[in-house]
Structure 1
Amino acid sequence: MRLLFLGDVMGRAGRAAITERLAKLRTDWRLDFVVVNGENATNGAGLSADHAKTLLDAGADVLTLGDHAFDQKDMLQFAEAEPRIIRPLNFSKTAPGRGARVFNAPGGRKVLVAQVLGQVFMKRPFDDPFSAIEPVLKAAPLGVQVNAALVDMHCEATSEKMAMGHWCDGRASVVVGTHTHVPTADAMILPRGTAYLTDAGMCGDYNSVIGMDKAEPMNRFITGMPKARFTPANGPATLSGLFVRTDDATGRALEVTMVRDGGALQAAAPGTTGAGGATTPT
């Protein structure tokens, strides 16, 4: 199966990049299933129902959220009604929606998508992500109940993300980190067959401070005082994420390639470079 995961969509620039480019990537890369983290797509803080529909209509099969899952209040109702929205498993026991679900893919194949929040350096305490993901993986074993499984690990600490990758190794096809908006360069296949990347980065304008217009973050760092509200940067956006090719019988990863399409950030991963700086999977 050919899977694409795209990191945190950031504001209008990120939404525009998805709507303008994802359909072509689906065709050019012969993608079977696309997961997009959309939790910053609405003004950099959460995801509205209308913007969720925009991303789904643009070609995302599933949208994951994060610690800002319900910053946009209409997501409280939308997450219950729309099965293609996945919020963190360990957000809250009373949170609406689902933290994991098995989806249909072409050819009768099944894909598990799950998301957990980390605990280290996060602004509020969340339940243990390791114990949260364990029963989900046990209920949908690779090569038995599902053909592929993707875990979005949404957190700050690189060590916590790496620990989750090894915890899921051999039981998930992909473990990919989100939240920091800064892509890492450690894409690999772990010993038991799980594709791993510490952070997918964001889909947004990289001429910014993690997706925000530079002026106000720089002012706060320099003076220690707020002067204005943060606003998302709206220059040309880079689509950042991870392409993974898996074995349908076992669910194990066969190929992993970092994705950097367009904008200011160019790919340096193996592969051929196409128009706009996209790394083309084989």
Structure 2
Amino acid sequence: MKILFLGDVMGRAGRRAITERLAGLRARLKADLVIVNAENASGGRGATAGHAQLLLECGADALTLGDHAFDQKDMMAFIDREPRIIRPLNFAKEAPGRGATIVSDARGRKALITQALGQVFMSRPYDDPFSALDAVLRAHPPGGMVQAVLVDIHAEATSEKMAIGHFCDGRASLVVGTHTHVPTGDAQVLPRGTAYLSDAGMCGDYDSVIGMDKAEPMRRFITGMSRDRFTPAEGEATICGVLVQTDDRTGMATAVEPVRDGGRLAQTHPA
């Protein structure tokens, strides 16, 4: 099975890139499933129900969120009605929605999609991601009732993401990091067969400061003072993510490669 995972969709530029280019990218890469992180799809803070529905209609088979999961209030009700959207397993005990879902490709092969939040340098102390993931992975071994398992670790610290990768090695097809918006160059298959990438990057305008228009972030760094709100940059977006190929029998990865499509990054890193 080939699974394409795309990093944080950032604002209007990211949504436009998915709307205009996802179908062609999926066909070119021959992806059986497409999973998209929609964490920043609406103005850089969460996803509205309408924007989430748009991403699904454009070809995403499932959406993951993150620490901004419920910044857009209509998501709190919508997530209970839409099983293809998941929030982090360890977001909060009373959070609506689910932390894992199972999707099927055109051939009926199933993949478990799950997500956890890191604890290091994050905005608040979330529950332990290791124990949260352990329970889900024990119940869904790859190569059993599901042919693949994808883990989105939404975290700030690369060390924590790497620890999650090794913790899941042999129990997941892919562990991929999100949240920092900066794609990393460490795509690899770990010793027990799990593909790993510290961060998929964002689907957004890279002529920016992690997706935000440059002026206000630079002003705050240089002067220590704020003047305006952060607003997403709206130039041409680079679609960033990772493509993993798995063995249906074992669920383990046989190949993994980063994906860059359009925008500034694709000028030097073609898909």
Normalising by the smaller structure, the TM-score range is over 0.9
Structure 2 counterparts to residues 39-188 of structure 1, below 5 A: 39-188=39-188
1:5 is the counterpart of 2:18: no
Whole-angstrom CA distance in 1 between matches of 2:252 and 2:267: 24
Farther off after superposition, 102-111 or 67-76: 102-111
Alignment of 1:216-235 (within 5 A): 216-235=216-235
Tell me if structure 2 keeps the 8 A contact 1:258–1:267. Answer: no
Identity %: 68
How big is the shift at 1:209? 0.1
Q: Distance in 2 between matches of 1:107 and 1:201?
A: 29
Q: Name the SS of the counterpart of 2:112 in structure 1.
A: strand
Measured in 2, the distance between the counterparts of 1:267 and 1:141 equals: 39
C-alpha distance in 1 between matches for 2:197 and 2:206: 19
- CA–CA distance in structure 1, aligned partners of residues 108 and 7 of structure 2: 26
For residues 6 and 104 of structure 2, the distance between their equivalents in structure 1, rounded to whole angstroms, comes to 19
Matched with 2:22 is 22
Distance (Å, rounded) in 2 between the aligned partners of 1:182 and 1:31: 23
Q: In 2, Cα distance between the equivalents of 1:260 and 1:30? A: 15
Task: Give the letter for the 1:89 counterpart.
Answer: L
Q: Match of 2:210?
A: 210
Amino acid paired to 2:177: G
1:274 match: none
Residue of structure 2 equivalent to 1:195: 195
Cα distance in 2 for residues equivalent to 1:278 and 1:38: 23
Q: What SS does the aligned partner of 1:107 have?
A: coil
Distance in 1 (CA, whole Å) between partners of 2:147 and 2:157 is 29
Report the Cα distance in structure 2 between the residues aligned to 1:267 and 1:168, rounded to whole angstroms: 34
Whether contact under 8 Å (1:113, 1:150) holds in the other structure is yes
Q: Which amino acid aligns with 2:163?
A: A
Measured against aligned partners, the alpha-carbon deviations of 1:189-234 in whole angstroms (never above 9, x if no partner) come to 0000000000000000000000000000000001111100000000
| Cα offset, 1:278, TM superposition | 3.6
TM-score normalised to structure 2 length? 0.98
1:55 shift after superposition: 0.4
Residue 267 of structure 1, CA deviation: 7.2
State how far apart, in whole Å, the 1-side matches of 2:84 and 2:98 are.
9
Distance 2:193 2:227 in 1: 49
- Give, in whole Å, the separation in 2 of the partners of 1:108 and 1:78: 26
Normalised by the length of structure 1, the TM-score is: 0.95
**Residue aligning to 1:249:** 249
25-34 vs 134-143, greater mean Cα deviation: 25-34
Count residues with an aligned counterpart: 271
- Which portions of structure 1, spanning 4 or more consecutive aligned residues, are displaced by more than 3 angstroms? none
User: What is the CA–CA distance in structure 1 between the aligned matches of 2:97 and 2:181, rounded to whole Å?
Assistant: 24
**1:151–1:143 CA distance, 2 compared to 1 (3 A):** same
Alpha carbons 1:260, 1:267 under 8 Å: kept: no
Gaps spanning 5+ residues in structure 1: where? 269-276
Aligned to 2:265: 265
Tell me how far apart the structure 1 counterparts of residues 103 and 259 of structure 2 sit (CA, whole Å). 23
Letter in 1 for 2:140: A
Amino acid paired to 2:141: P
Provide the C-alpha distance between the structure 2 equivalents of 1:167 and 1:132, rounded to a whole number of angstroms.
12
- C-alpha deviation, 1:20, in angstroms: 0.5
